[in-house]
Amino acid sequence: MNLEEQRKFILSGKVYNDLTPELVKARENTVFLTNKYNESFGKPSEEREAILKELLKSIGKNVHFEPTFRCEFGFNITIGNNFYANFDCVMLDGGGIEIGNNVLFGPRVGIYTSNHSIDVEERINGGCYAKPVKIGNNVWIGAGVHINQGVTIGNNTIIGSGSVVTKDIPDNVIAAGVPCKVIRKITEKDKTGYKP
């Protein structure tokens, strides 16, 4: 299978060989492109976004990662408008990552769409399987959060720092912990009267 065929196979959720020459080469290319993006820090935003457009599946307006950003392939990542990721973001995107509009990431956020096989023989022979991660609009992911494969995080939700998200989290809540669980709903009482 060529790279595009392997990309589609991985997205189908079936167990795939993580170690084919095509995937190894694709990851290598991604390291070169993310190096270029990270080194472009401080340059005009149009220049930096042009590198992201080459690297990622699609991005909206005003998408910014502080250094250092790393991803596995990049070509399965979709990001909406007004995205900000603080330092040291990692996205393993074999299974597909979709991020909505107005999303904030604290430092050291990781999204991992792929698992190595649970069976030891399959694992040592390169077996992997992937599931997509989806993050809605207006979400804030706190520092050091790990998001595992197959998870959807709802609109307007906040994930507390240090959480490990293993299951879907609904809209309009604060959720935190290991494993991440809903703490409470976000309500009108959270308004402070702040005006920009």
x-or-dash pattern for ligand ACO, window 78-107, by CB under 6 A?
A: --------x-----------------x-x-
CA torsion angle for 142, 147, 153, 155 (degrees, to 10)?
Answer: 30
CB-based contacts of 70, cutoff 8 Å, min separation 6 = 31, 34, 89, 90, 91
- Residue type (1 letter), 27: R
Q: How far is the CB of 16 from ligand ACO (least distance, A)?
A: 33
The span of 6-14, 92-100, 110-118, 160-168 binding ligand ACO (CB under 6 A) equals 160-168
Q: Would residue 116 show up in a list of annotated catalytic residues for this protein? A: yes
Contact with ligand ACO (CB under 6 A) among 13, 67, 150, 162: 162
- Closest CB to ligand ACO among residues 51, 104: 104
Q: What is the contact surface with ligand ACO in residues (CB under 6 A)?
A: 86, 104, 106, 142-143, 158, 160-163, 174, 176-177, 183
